Amino acid sequence: MSEPRISVVVPTVDRVMLLERTLRGLAAQDGVDFEVIVVHDGDAGVKTLLDAWSPRLPLRALQVPERGAVPKRNVGWRAARAPFIAFTDDDCEPAPGWLRTAAKAFDEADPNVDLLQGRVDAHPDDGDVAGAFKRTIEVHQHYEGYPNANLVYRRSALERVGGYDDAYWGAGEDSDLAHRVIESGGAVRYVDDAVVWHAVRAVSFQDHMRSLPRWANAPLSIKRHPQLRPLIPYRIFWKKSHTTGALALLGLVLAPINLRWLALVAPHFVRRMRKNGARAGAQLAVADIAEVAVTVAGSVRYRTVFI
């Protein structure tokens, strides 16, 4: 069996319908030899889906017990056979020509280019998805946050820095890896024609709140890579809404001492409800305060400021 030019690594956790989009997009790739490595944790639906797609793809399925993306990505790239490792996620669909364009970009790039960052668009099939907490990722120019939806590394660069850091159990592992590669001497090239479509997902208020603990990990990237600070509002806030959200949290913390501190809470709710309506605004205000609490806890843990 000849070695592929590119290995595509996809970590997944029981998102069968979204993963099928990913596999559909990979099956449409042409013009370059590649393999697909899907790393999963044994979900029955995922295993059935992978079995169904195996005849149509150069696919290897690897099962690991860990649910997090970091161990799955590390298992995937270390098992890969190609000199270039493309990472995307199970809520993404590569557009036609993605891998062919990436391979050509590496051929034309300077030898010190160790990372290609491609374009990420909202999925064209998801235009009707709505909701206050809907999620997607878009990258339309070089972006130093380096979301993992569309990144292609030289394998030698991953070996040089040891891959993803297991210290990341939540968010931020993708930007951390990219910056460690850059800090070790690697260069980056942005390729606008290498496109991946990212799903737009409707997320309930309850699911959004349950997902927040992973962001306690984010301050670690800010501490390790202070060059990321210009990307965030006022160099310390995750979101602009966290400016008044932080005051609201302070008011809630101090209210047991003196109820007058609750006056700090009202401006944040008013701001959100004026912008987003009564119900969605109230939910977003509560979410902002919870997000601030999570990031403050992470800031204390990693001894840096990211709110």
| Per-residue pLDDT tens digits of the chain, which is 307 residues long | 579 999 999 999 889 999 999 999 999 999 999 999 999 999 999 999 999 999 999 999 999 988 789 999 999 999 999 999 999 999 999 999 999 999 999 999 999 999 999 999 999 999 999 999 999 999 999 999 999 999 999 999 999 999 999 999 889 999 999 999 999 999 999 999 999 999 999 999 999 999 999 999 999 999 999 999 999 999 999 999 999 999 999 999 999 999 999 999 999 999 999 999 999 999 999 999 999 999 999 999 999 999 9
**Does the reported pTM lie above 0.85?**
yes
pLDDT at 14: 85
Spell out the SS3 assignment of 60-115. Answer: EEEECCCCCHHHHHHHHHHHCCCCEEEECCCCEEECCCHHHHHHHHHHHCCCCEEE
What is the C-alpha to C-alpha distance for residues 257 and 248, in angstroms, rounded to an integer? 15
* Residue 6: C-alpha distances to residues 9, 37, 170 (Å): 10, 11, 27
Neighbours of 201 (CB within 10 A): 17
Fold of the domain built from segment(s) 6-202:
Spore Coat Polysaccharide Biosynthesis Protein SpsA; Chain A (3.90.550)
| Domain residue ranges of the chain, discontinuous segments joined by + | 6-202, 224-302
What is the C-alpha to C-alpha distance for residues 88 and 301, in angstroms, rounded to an integer? 29
Spell out the SS3 assignment of the chain. Answer: CCCCCEEEEEECCCCHHHHHHHHHHHHCCCCCCEEEEEEECCCHHHHHHHHHHHHHCCEEEEECCCCCHHHHHHHHHHHCCCCEEEECCCCEEECCCHHHHHHHHHHHCCCCEEEEEEEEEECHHHCCCCCCCCECCCECCCCCCCCHHHEEEEHHHHHHHCCCCCCCCCCCHHHHHHHHHHHCCCEEEEEEEEEEEECCECCCHHHHHHHHHHHHHHHHHHHHCHHHHHHCHHHCCCCCCHHHHHHHHHHHHHCCCCHHHHHHCHHHHHHHHHHHCHHHHHHHHHHHHHHHHHHHHHHHHHCCCCC
Describe the chain by its helix, strand, coil percentages, rounded to 5: 50, 20, 30
pLDDT at 1: 58
**Residue at token pair 């479509």:** 197
